Structure 1
């Protein structure tokens, strides 16, 4: 806890009191990490394990930035720390700072509060830049924790590959995790996406965001929906009736396959080996994939061409300093100009305008004033 100290001033004015923080102490009991967990969820589990009320617990590693600030419900928002508060929390949890930052996304450097001498934290009502997704119930049992644990996610959904579940940020009764036993292709697609993003790095994550935006555009236009999407919705039984909730699930395999196709073209482009003829051959392959999915390729291909227009071929005499793909086993793709966007939610990360849940329209361009699903936190 903090103590206060003051120094007298030569002009006789009252001394300004400042806090002197005692060194943090490790708590008696620790809790197992859940990868991707929100800070508030982890802090509540740690406090509960040691029998400390939330208000007292947060006061042990910092003071609130806002007057009358208090820890809130981790189901709906999350808390943020500065570097000094993070160091104290790490000591209390018996972890290294880098361990907490690896496990808890909202403690990573770009999410920390501005640096101050004193440890401080903030718990805003609305958590921008992330969604709170319920932890898989099987993972929770293995970690010996409750279902009131939440992941800090860049999407409204997550996949638990180990336990074959689709997780999301719905909290209404009857919206438990969706089992994927009947949809093995969704699990396969998730594994392929993980491999793609690990192999290509930041460029791979950006390309999946672009593919997700394109397929979201197709989903927003009923005439461009693949028949297999309706079949998957049917297999989801009651959960499949909530079209907006399950949309990312039902088109996930096609989004990943499209991301792989975008990556193939982008690698050629950045190596300056993409020719006009090669571009059209690539478009033919994408159109053939659409035909296999049952998506009308003639109108749907417009969205892909819109993406290609923003990634034009590079001339052989172009900027010699421009980043090129690395060679070797882990052939990462560099980002062109939107590196900052990788810290944004998936729906805001793409260079394309389409977002899942926009007003249904027969036009490929989003309808003016169309709405998008944002979720809370």
Structure 2
């Protein structure tokens, strides 16, 4: 937990206020995985749950249980957003959509590749759809290549995050449609 918090603080220094939006979205993705039982039945989340002495019904503990993985997801989202800000696709690939490669990369970073392939990808794909490049590929290819924003320079807010409050609950900052404790089946498109 301490290592995850140090990594989050580093991310916030590098990304500025936009890191708060990415952390909010990453937390919502991790809570989605938890609630859909795609990744929380066994492994590290189960161990943390047992260490805390809680069961799956203790919703207050979920943000704590999934926090380290949420930080990893936020870091991966930051990589993707820096590339999007420069008009690039993930991993320097051809201009266009690269959902599968990015989702697989996130699964590898989490050590949850199998779980990601078995349905965990849905939460990340929903995030990607809300954070997609809205400039057509043809237009992007015609533009001169922009330089990437150095990692030490905060990234400006990108769509769909037009305003990010510096304080308050993270769930209120997220652009994702689901919330912990509400039925996931009621969310269209997820």
The question of a shared fold, defined as TM-score above 0.5 by the shorter chain, is answered with: yes
Q: Which has the higher helix share?
A: 2
Taking structure 1 as reference, are residues 276 and 290 closer, same or farther at Cα in structure 2, changes over 3 Å only? Answer: farther
**Alignment partner for residue 355 of structure 1, among 179, 185, 188?**
179
Task: Find out whether 1:247 has 2:62 as its counterpart.
Answer: yes
> Structure 1 residue 298: deviation in Å?
3.1
2:158 pairs with 1:336: yes
Alignment of 1:9-20 (within 5 A): none
Q: Is the contact made by 1:303 and 1:364 (CA closer than 8 Å) also made in structure 2?
A: no
Residue pairs, 1:119-158, within 5 angstroms? none
User: How far has the Cα of 1:316 moved from its partner?
Assistant: 7.4
Match for residue 115 of structure 2?
Answer: 295
Q: CA deviation at 1:294?
A: 6.4
Q: What is the aligned partner in structure 1 of residue 132 from structure 2?
A: 312
Equivalent residue, structure 2, for 1:233: 49
For the residues of structure 1 that align with 2:65 and 2:105, how far apart are their CA atoms? Answer: 22
Give the deviation of 1:293 after TM superposition: 7.2
Displacement of 1:246 in angstroms is: 1.2
1:216 and 2:22 aligned: no
CA–CA distance in structure 2, aligned partners of residues 281 and 233 of structure 1: 31
**Structure 1 residue 288 displacement after superposition:** 2.9
The answer on 1:198 being equivalent to 2:22 is: no
Q: CA deviation at 1:223?
A: 3.9
Q: Higher relative CO (CA 8 A, sep ≥ 6), structure 1 or 2? A: 2
Which residue of 2 is the match for residue 276 of structure 1?
A: 96
Query: Which has a greater percent of strand?
Result: 1
Shift of 1:303: 1.2
* Structure 2 unaligned spans of 5+: 90-94
Alpha-carbon distance, 1:278 to partner:
4.8
> Is contact 1:206-1:349 (8 Å) kept?
yes
Contact 1:220 1:358 in 2 (8 A): no
Q: Distance in 1 between matches of 2:112 and 2:27?
A: 18
Aligned-partner Cα distance in 2 for 1:349–1:339? 10
In the aligned structure 2, how far is the partner of 1:293 from the partner of 1:254?
13
Single out whichever of 294-303 and 246-255 deviates more from structure 2: 294-303
1 CA distance for matches of 2:186 and 2:30?
A: 11
Aligned equivalents of 1:316, 1:287: Cα separation in 2 = 30
Q: How many residues align?
A: 173
How far does the alpha carbon of each residue in 1:274-319 deviate from its partner, in whole angstroms, 9 at most, with x for none?
Answer: 133654322221233455376353311011111111222344745x
Aligned pair in 2 of structure 1 residues 244, 294: CA closer, same or farther (>3 Å)?
farther
1:293–1:194 CA distance, 2 compared to 1 (3 A): farther
Q: Structure 2: how far apart are the matches of 1:220 and 1:317?
A: 40
Deviation at 1:226, TM superposition (A): 5.2
Cα 1:302–1:223 shift into 2, 3 Å: closer
Contact 2:22 2:77 survives alignment (8 Å): yes
Q: Distance in 1 between matches of 2:107 and 2:98?
A: 14
Does structure 2 conserve the Cα–Cα contact (< 8 Å) formed by 1:347 and 1:356? no
- Per the TM alignment, residue 358 of structure 1 is displaced from its structure 2 partner at its CA by 2.0
2:92 counterpart residue number: none
Structure 1 residues not aligned, in runs of 5+? 1-185, 367-377
